[in-house]
Structure 1
Amino acid sequence: MKLQHRLEIYPILFVVWTVLGVATTYTIGAALNHYPALIPAISHTGEFPPENGIFTIVVTISAFLFLIICTIRFKQIFDEREDHYLSIRILNFIGYLVAITVVIGMLLVGSFDVSDRETITVHFIGAFFVYVPGFIYYVIQTIIGPVFKSLNRWRWVVLMVRIVLLFMGGILLFLYLFFLFTYRIFVNNSTNIMIPTQMNISTTSAAPTTVAYPLFNYATGSQWFMVASFYALALTLIPEFYMIEMVFTIRNRKYVTRNSSNSSSPSLQ
């Protein structure tokens, strides 16, 4: 028995699952007044119970789906290695290693939240592994994309969309890091300013009126739009995944063994 499996479902499932999961944690946290509902950091949507458990499940499954997508992509290019230059094959391997780094970062983000001083550093390291290598991964896929001749004219449409999304994502990544580091420097130089969450806004009256609070909003706003551009880049894999499918072959073990025993084995002359 053979089971045919279309692969373009994975980028769609990855984006839909993650967006719905983060929207769920955002809604629960806003309803419980765990943070200012306007523009919290994405990690803050899973900072407090009960949404932190949901956030961990969402990010873990998203990491697994992203690993599946990157493995399919790697195998897709690897199987056509005879038609590609050595540079494309090297980029393919580098891209897969970068993708594994992103997966590790996602697992760190989901496992270590920002509410604990002992784990927040690990969380920030995981976020760095997600955003910066994630951007590099899509740059590599943009370079590799035009080699798929089977897409005909659509490969150039995909290429242009990826270039636009990468340009937007790159600017937003820079703005996010700039505002975040500026905010952290301001916080470190101040004794009465903390991260503006529901837990400390009530105890820090100066936070909403200082420079730090707008900087935090700029950073989180850039983060949301940057992540949206990354998810849009993931959806650009759909046309290329549409050209391939996975086939599972299920056979009876006894039948395979019987046929194997009846077949004559080659002998060395």
Structure 2
Amino acid sequence: MKIVVIGGTGLIGSKAVEMLRQHGHEAVPASPNTGVNTLTGEGLTEVLEGASVVIDVSNSPSFEDEAVLDFFRTSTGNLLEAEEKAGVGHHVALTIVNTDRRPDIGYFRAKLAQEKLIEESPIPFSLVHATQFFEFGRRIADEAAAGGDKVPMPPVLFQPIAGEEVSRTVARTAAGAPLNGRIQIAGPERVRMDEFFRKALAAWGDPREVVTDPHAHYFGAEMRERDLVPDDGAATLGEIKYADWLASNGAR
């Protein structure tokens, strides 16, 4: 089965391509690096020829509110239009847990707009809602610190997951029948966000101090207790714990 992976050269997409190929699928990575641009439509017709499934794990180069909204609306609209013409039978998209709870946050609002376009399209679909990735931990800490020696973090619930397990779920979902709905995935450990980063920075050998701040912003807004975690029992949990992941990936 031919499966085109939009964003297939990135963190999640490249792993999904590898996993699909190991199971005998014709997995084709598609990104601006391979001559496929969903914002302009360049290369879409050619890469989708003969495709049964499309996975979209692409992301906006800018997280500024209007820019990210424009990216997901334009990219997803172009992609769905091209898929319909090509006769694609299953659209799989990766998004974030609880986008519908915080439409006041620009990035969440943009992902929510993406989901709506997919749900309203005639193409059968599956939405994979994931919590934050281990791989983005350092970036999250850096953005919170804003160049200083203090890292303000809110004491809200946090349940990050390994990118490898996200890729595996996306690949399995693409190889199966369309859900015409959504699934949620999260890491195996639920902790407080400030405590997670306090331990993470210590493990990284990072001298910056994590400061507990209920008003600290994430994605430009104050987070509530359960904004970043799925409801109890609502998600499939990964198996890789952060300490184990860090032991294998900490040097990256």
TM more than 0.5: no
Q: Which has the higher helix share?
A: 1
Higher percent of residues as strand: 2
TM-score, normalization: structure 2? 0.28
Answer with 1 or 2: which has the greater Rg: 1
